[in-house]
Chain A
């Protein structure tokens, strides 16, 4: 059967349940698609063929036995290579981690996907240790944007976004510390959700910056995104930052649309750090939603700076033993930053952590009168691979740190955000952040689904040529 790789996750699962398609056929179609296009994209660092076929066979056997199939039965997916996969070494984009033994068990989220019937196809490219916004990985090669193979996919979950955009799998998992789900989702034109800090379990994922590390899915439809997010929710004592909140499914709320939601535009910093193309994407969304009120998230520039500082200190301290003994085994694109960051005085770090409290309290005041705030997800579209800088307001800014200018202040305080793809004819993709108050993922997903239903947000499969 042709076109299996273009099915949404929920449509694929429905066909498996009805018997129209087997899970094995879906797995083989995904593996064939990876074989056909990933030589150009470089999204995968490992293909788990045997596991995929075994998990698919288990789904088909369950159906044959008359058992009720779970929500994502037979749906192929893949994960950023910092998630533990039993039997594989968790690379986290590094050369150094190749020395580690294979993971003895799946991470919590892979376990959740397996319980939901999904079929693991492989592990995905990323910036080394998640420290970057471009997935220009020196060890494993750059992940290329399926929309233009000369350009970055964004990062650090670049493989996760590119694999979905190119139709290799309908769902992937990634992580977002400062924008690493939202940036590649924006540049590759797919949906991604960074849930509230503490909502999904990070157990068994390789850490970067404990204060801001989040995990979440990518998809080509808002319904798929909500379904994956729902499947991933559980209560897990294994993640010390995870909330003890009950599971709160969202899929059933999508039909509510946007009625009753007060929606505003993030002004000031979120406009002055965006190119006209990014603001145009935001304006398309704002016009569709009838949103015209502007709100200010005060001192957003300092929020970005404080997030930068906390990331610098926590991220580098984690790798101090290897920085001491084998600095040349780090990706040269990040090694000197890691070393410099390891030397920051404690006073800088503590001021940033205290500022985080202040900023959180200010933004919570803003959310007393609005439910949703929208902002561009990236300052610009995908830049050429290797480009050191891009133009922003007439100035050249360093490309690698600056792609996260609009995401960093928000993950800093753990807000739930859906990045929605907003196609513009003739232009490369740029996404828009749909930002909700803490624990209100459902509101952001409702907006994403509403925009998709009206054709404002779309993520068709791209054929990378």
Chain B
């Protein structure tokens, strides 16, 4: 029972991180019909920069803010340089370009920092807590993970539901041509969307890196879990990203806990297959009619 409880708590923490990755994917997919396979690698680069800032002698929080800011900038730059020229072309081109960018970044990171693993500190203790007489595997850092992702979600919610800017971004995602006719400047808003998405990815990377370790490909597996969560929740639903993230995190935790950790990536694939078989549009996606 205690084992089950600990696995569940671990699954919730992982699920929140996965949800942040999924949110990043969803933000871009809603607006441009592109899945950004480079998102994990972009976050990895930014995390190396945070690592460098940290080893300049700055504190954890300065590095944290620097990483998020670099992430925003990096996302915007990527959209302007790589993605904008692809507008109006086949989605296949975008997939190949983002995937190529993933490889390129991992190669560059390997060339600069090498492939050895580095440890990245956590801001709070990672040790489990004692409640009464039972030891539970939920550390103060896990609490921070859950709160940080919840804060991200609430910020996004406020931005998209409560502000004028968010309304315009939703309009651009929903019907870019109509939005343009109504006087919305589409291109800068798409760039902003990429910036926000990259920042969500960076947050996920910063939350996962203390428990894994910093290598050029440490985000690969997290990215495919995020993809799983996004597919389960529906690729264009932010709420779906949260629910899908938790569902994915919990399922993987049970598979890892009871069957073996090496099975987790394949379990994620099985989850995608099953969810596409049962509910192809995802749990929360709006049905997309195809127009001729």
A and B interact physically: no
A residues whose Cβ falls under 8 Å from a Cβ of B: none
B residues whose Cβ falls under 8 Å from a Cβ of A: none
